[in-house]
Amino acid sequence: MAPTPKPGVLDITPYVAGRAGLAGVEHVIKLSSNESPLGPSPLAVEALLKAARDLELYPEGSAQILREAIGEVYGLDPARIVASGDGSDAILTMLANGYLRPGDEVLFSEHDFILYKIATFANSATPVEIPDPKLRFDVDAALARVTPRTRMVFIANPNNPTGSYISHEEMRRLHAGLSPDTLLVIDSAYSEYVRKNDYEAGIEMVSRYPNVVMTRTFSKIHGLAGMRIGWTYAPAAVCDVLNRIRGPFNVSMMQQHAAAAAIRDRAHVERSVAHNEQWKTYLTEEIRKLGLTVNESVANFVLIQFPKGEKNSVKADAFLGSKGLILRGVAGYGLPDALRLTIGSAEANERVVAALREFMGR
């Protein structure tokens, strides 16, 4: 008899990443993973190469170099920051590992990041999906599903793959409807791109409430996706839990120095934001002219909805692939009629529009 996993593990559908290549196509433009078209800060690359001289040394165990840099930039207490060398995904998983028990319920939107469900099942807890037919987190629908068994609420704000967000006021209303022993986890991976006056990434709420956590990443606007660095700002008690269960030396010296340099390079961040705003507007307007639905997005990608029939998303994906363009199918997020398009370089964005124009016969 073989060993059996704990309940829930075999209910997990393994995560499938976006494609990185196309069979028979030598030169591709990858617009499927929300990567930065500007790449990392030159200062981050310089810091990485310098740190590579000391590969024989263990890093300091608490990621102090990185935590102090984050605290400096955002005005936060480094003691309330926990970093991860495996992206913010690892922090989300650690939160689930640290707080979920068999029978607990975990709320998240039906079109949210798939990892939330994976982390829930892995801890023998029960996922409760919140309907969002308008492709935007529905606070009222979430609160209607809160029960005495609700232990955790995950919310991606902005959300991937829809690009939508909820306001600070709505987030506070969501929190007000939760019990003190329910943990509200705000996944703010795309927060740096948001330019809305009613948005707040989560720092203010974490500072005020003992049951709110915010997670962030260096994979998006900082262009360090290949290094897999994430962090969380959390109440002291939550940080204590995470520091007890995280792995030792869980952020390498190279990761710490590169990320510290990246987060301090505010000019590079602003260039990335400006590029994103310009080309997101271009893509949204041009693709809508083709008769396709493009959701309003505050992130670094747009969601394109295709009609059923001859011009559906599957055929569009195949046609774009024949042109060397890789977009992200999001059927796994419950959106089989849509493709997610990352804002790319000027050339990439123009090529996508030209290809879609050809596909739609315009």
Secondary structure (H, E, C), 165-231: CCCHHHHHHHHHCCCCCCEEEEECCCHHHCCCCCCCCCHHHHHHCCCEEEEEECCCCCCCHHHCCEE
User: What was the pLDDT predicted at 10?
Assistant: 84
CATH architecture, range 42-264: 3-Layer(aba) Sandwich (3.40)
pLDDT at 14: 84
- Terminal CA-to-CA distance of the chain, rounded, Å? 61
Closest of 318, 320, 330 to residue 135, by C-alpha: 330
**% residues pLDDT > 90 (the chain):** 92
Q: So where are the chain's domains?
A: 10-39+267-360, 42-264
Q: Which pLDDT score, from 0 to 100, does residue 15 have?
A: 81
> Which stretches of the chain score pLDDT less than 50?
none
Given this model, what pLDDT does residue 85 score? 95
Distance (Å, whole) CA 119 – CA 80 = 23
Three-state DSSP at 84 gives strand
pLDDT, position 8: 87
H helical segments located in the chain: 42-51, 64-74, 87-99, 115-122, 139-144, 168-176, 203-208, 236-245, 253-264, 266-288, 313-322, 346-360
CA atoms within a 13 Å half-sphere pointing along the CA-CB vector of 194: 21
| Residues 6+ away with beta carbon under 8 Å from 318 | none
The predicted-structure confidence for 97-135, as pLDDT tens digits, reads as follows 999 999 999 999 999 999 999 999 999 999 999 999 999
In the numeric block, the tokens 């599957």 are attached to 314
User: Which pTM was predicted?
Assistant: 0.95
Q: Which residue has the tokens 């747009």?
A: 302
Asked whether this chain's domains 10-39+267-360 and 42-264 adopt the same fold, the reply is: no
Instruction: Output the pLDDT for position 1.
Output: 84
- Which residues touch 117 (CB under 8 Å, ≥6 apart)? 12, 108, 127
Q: Give the burial class of 328: count Cβ atoms within 10 A of its Cβ; 0-12 exposed, 13-18 middle, 19 or more buried.
A: buried
**Model pLDDT, residue 225:** 97
Return the CATH superfamily for domain 10-39+267-360.
Aspartate Aminotransferase, domain 1 (3.90.1150.10)
